[in-house]
Amino acid sequence: MIDKQIIVIGAGLAGCEAAWQIANSGIKVKLIEMRPLCSTPAHHTSEFSELVCSNSFGALSPDRAAGLLQEELRTFNSLIIKTADNFSVPAGGALAVDRSKFSKSLTKILSTHPLVQVKRFEQLDIPDKKNITVIATGPLTSNVLANKIKKFTGLDSCHFFDAASPIIFGDTIDHEIAFKASRYDKGDPAYLNCPMDKMEYLNFRNALINGEQASLKDFDKESANFFEACLPIEEIARRGIETMRYGPLKSIGLWNPEWGDLFDRENRLKKRPHAIVQLRKEDLEGKLLNMVGFQTNLKWSEQKRIFRMIPGLEKAEFVRFGVMHRNTFLESPKLILPTLQFLKRETLFAAGQITGTEGYAAAAAGGMLAGLNAALLAKNKSPVTFPNESMIGSLMNFISNRNEIMSNQKKNKFQPMPASFGLVPELTHKIKDKKLRYKEYQERSLRVLQDFKKVLDSSFENDHLLVEIN
């Protein structure tokens, strides 16, 4: 065991993953978390890695970008993904979790790890350069520390407005109207679906675009910088009459078994509702349900009034209303290397959403890489970069200062990026069929990562991954 202690600031997804990888490399970790002493506009508990926006990690299948990223993380004993697997709930073809059990389990695992020292206080400055440090404070970094980071980098942080969806008590849903089904019958019928006819849809849209917004510091409806992958439902509604029907309210691929089996596919399509609102389980029993795609900045009273217009939700009771908050991230291509080290200081790493990756698995990927490299640095070894062909490597290339390959991106405004096959290098041979092409991306990634893992394990001299996840 190395007689050093690495500092990890923030016990979100990236911070927890970084701390796990460092500790399992035989190095002590000081994990600093400001909650519950200092909270944020979006958090509700003091548990580690509280999921504030959704309980979904995205598609499970490894021939999808999100699914491949999850599979890559499993290859490297990711605490976040393995815990998500342990507390998954039915969600069709997606990996969704019981967010309460998920966070509590992570808190317990890290709080009882023999090499992890948990400290609850607000970090007010960047530690001295003598300390190997991982900044994983996320998009809700406290104002004091955010200002210190700005001063250190010499650049203003970027920001966008993000939002969370409401959660409803499952026993207040009208099950005579809402029916169980997953899109295209993928997996078990894991979603509750609330169908709308055309007039119900139009009335609902009109209520949404005219609903009263909650006041929010720094928020201006006319000039707000939204993250396009997580738009408020009322903003989607404003963009056109049909926009919601081609987004979160699309009804294609859903079929109510009670409609019977006497129709062929053509007739089924004629019977399809004009729009459908989907509800996803927050827990295995379905006591709590998340409104899929219903991020919002409506006032709470307006949410109750307008969302009860949805068929099946007329008597819905809300556990938690949707909220909007400001998310801060770094202009990473000007600041960090593909190893996630700052250009200005090799002992300082950044990881997670603060670097401009988007999505839970992407945050875990950044935490994993920063944790591995911080551990290697502590062992006086060279940090690593993931293969370009992997989803992890492609994401890190996108957010980093990698040999000026992002020169075109730097001319434009840097924006957060989720896992996407658009980031990975092209294949050496062309495959026109998209599904086959994505499958080839998957197989190539997992193939190169097997060789990369052998090299990485040799760098740690077999003392890496000391603790397996139960």
Percentage of the chain lying above the pLDDT 90 cut:
61
Axis-axis angle for helices 79-86, 65-75 (nearest 10): 110
Q: How confident is the model at residue 459 (pLDDT cuts 50, 70, 90)?
A: confident
For residues 124 and 226, membership in a common domain is answered with no
Residue 347 falls within a domain, yes or no? Answer: yes
Could you tell me the residue range of the domain that residue 376 belongs to? Answer: 2-162+327-459
Q: Is residue 464 part of a domain?
A: no
Residues 125 and 237 in one domain: no
Q: Are 439 and 338 in a shared domain? A: yes
Torsion of CA 225, 227, 232, 237, to 10 degrees: 80
Considering the domain architecture, whether residues 210 and 314 belong to the same structural domain is answered as: yes
Report the chain's mean pLDDT, rounded to a whole number. 87
Residues 50 and 80 in one domain: yes
Model confidence at 189, pLDDT cuts 50, 70, 90, reads: confident
- The residue out of 322, 339, 373 marking a domain boundary is 322
**Which string of b and e fits 283-311 if b means at least 16 CB within 10 Å?**
beebebbbbbbbbbbbbeebbeebbeebb
Under 8 Å CB-to-CB from 464, ≥6 apart: which residues?
24, 25, 26, 375, 456, 457
Residue 396 maps to a domain: yes
348 and 389 part of one domain = yes
Tokens of 347: 């002992």
**Residue 294 confidence class, pLDDT cut points 50, 70, 90:** very high
What lies within 8 Å, CB to CB, of 254 at 6+ separation is 181, 183, 193, 272, 276
pLDDT tens per residue across span 299-351: 999 999 999 999 999 999 998 888 877 777 888 999 999 999 999 999 999 99
Same domain, 313 and 451: no
The last residue of a domain, from among 298, 322, 346: 322
Residue 86 lies in a domain: yes
* 7-62 confidence digits (pLDDT tens): 999 999 999 999 999 999 999 999 999 998 887 767 778 899 999 878 999 999 98
The domain that contains 8 carries what CATH number? Answer: 3.50.50.60
Question: In which band, very low, low, confident or very high, does the pLDDT at 356 lie, cut at 50, 70 and 90?
Answer: confident
Contact 46, 35 (CB under 8 A): yes
Last residue of a domain, one of 266, 288, 322: 322
Q: Is residue 468 part of a domain?
A: no
| Same-domain status, 406 and 332 | yes
Q: Do residues 145 and 227 share a domain?
A: no
Instruction: Express each pLDDT in 339-351 by its tens digit.
Output: 999 999 999 999 9
465 domain-assigned: no
| Total domains present in the chain | 2
| Rounded mean pLDDT, 255-261 | 64
In terms of domains, do 104 and 231 share one? no
Q: Flag whether 466 is in a domain.
A: no
Same domain, yes or no: 140 and 21? yes
User: Do the domain assignments include residue 453?
Assistant: yes
**Average pLDDT score over residue span 203-225:** 74
What HEC string does the chain produce?
CEEEEEEEECCCHHHHHHHHHHHCCCEEEEEEECCCCCCCCCCCCCCCCCCCCCCEEEECCCCCHHHHHHHHHHHCCCHHHHHHHHCEECCCCEEEECHHHHHHHHHHHHHCCCCEEEEECCCCCCCCCCCCEEECCCCCCCHHHHHHHHHHHCCCCEEEEEECCCEEEHHHCCCCCCEEECHHHCCCCCEEEEEECHHHHHHHHHHHHHCCECCCCCCCCCCCCECHHHCCHHHHHHCCCCCHHHCCCCCCCCCCHHHCCCCCHHHHHHHCCCEEEEEEECCCCCCEEEECCCCCCECHHHHHHHHCCCCCCCCCCEEECCCEEEEEECCHHHCECCCCEECCEEEEEECHHHHCECCHHHHHHHHHHHHHHHHHHHCCCCCCCCCCCCHHHHHHHHHCCCCCCCHHHHHCCCCCECCCHHHCCCCCCCCCCHHHHHHHHHHHHHHHHHHHHHHHHHHCCCCCCCCCCC
Mean pLDDT value across residues 198-210? 96
Mark residue 62 as left, alpha or beta (left: phi above 0; alpha: psi -120 to 50; beta: remaining): alpha
Q: Are residues 12 and 127 in the same domain?
A: yes
Residues composing the chain = 470
- The CATH number of residue 257's host domain is 2.40.30.260
Comparing 462 with 231, the larger pLDDT belongs to 231
Q: Residue 220: what pLDDT?
A: 43
> What are the pLDDT digits (tens) for 135-144?
999 888 888 9
Three-point CA angle 12, 14, 18, nearest 5°: 115
Interval 351-375 mean pLDDT: 95
Residue 413: pLDDT band (50, 70, 90) is low
pLDDT for 224 equals 53
